[in-house]
Amino acid sequence: MKNKRWQADLSLLFVAAIWGSTFVVVKNATADMPTFTFLTIRFAIAAVAIALLKRDISVWKNKDLWKHGIFIGLFLFLGYAFQTLGLQYTSAAKTGFITGLYVIIVPLIVALADKKLPRKLTIFGIILATIGLAFLSLEGFSIAIGDFLVLLCAFAFAAHIYVVSILSKKYDIIAITSIQLLTVSVLSLVNMAVFELNATVVWSSNVILGLLITAIPATSLAFWLQNNFQRFTTPTHTALIFASEPVFAYIFAFLLAGQVFTVKYTIGAILILSGIILAELPVKSRKNKNLSLSHDKISNQNY
């Protein structure tokens, strides 16, 4: 089980790296294609691509699978929708920070559900990661309507992480993942029809490249990995690991867009990674500690 936990953490870290690598390509793509149009196509391709891997038709006849898959997908869509709306009224930097607050919200949801606080090392890790997010994202802070909308996005992503940990383990991973992605595509299509019906779409190389990169690696693969491996770790650890996404975003921005690293960014990245590592440190139980003390006492008597 311990090996499964490490496999899960490394897989989720890989997911954060994939998502962090897409910031530049998504930004370039949505300059030529409206956001909900892009999301509709991206998630439709992703849903179909992963669904084709499941040839057993009987799996898809499970009504509870559809009900819970749509339920999980609703939170995923709300995260993207509120983030998109919030970006219209606040800065991208503040959006990154406020979205990352799910690293705090997830443990709160878990604490309320389980009626138990996280262990101290995890709490310290959350605090460090949150401070690191502030270093990476904030250039000043003022409250605007966009900030509130992005905060709703953070709650939606936190809820998505939590419900995935509860529901995904009950069903076939490919099927439950595909339904989540299909839900995002359908709801994005509705918003596209409402808000972007007359918008101009340019099928540029940036759009095509953006869809190719995000649809399969950053959506089909990434969400399959999340749904599959989150079963072997906790929602809180998942949120902490995903907090590394902006770290990878800055690394790829440096490699692909020539962004310059500053001391502030470096401190932020170190704090986030330190928070993740701190939360992963094992704690010796009281029982093991007592056994260790007893062993030491017996050893001293022998000498």
pLDDT of residue 299: 39
pLDDT of residue 295: 40
What whole-number distance in Å separates Cα of residue 122 and Cα of residue 219? 28
pTM: 0.81
Domain ranges in the chain are 2-302
**CA nearest neighbour of 181 among 41, 34, 288, 82:** 41
Low-confidence stretches of the chain (pLDDT beneath 50): 286-303
pLDDT of residue 294: 44
pLDDT of residue 292: 42
pLDDT of residue 127: 87
pLDDT digits (tens, 9 = 90+) for 144-173: 677 788 889 999 999 999 999 999 889 999
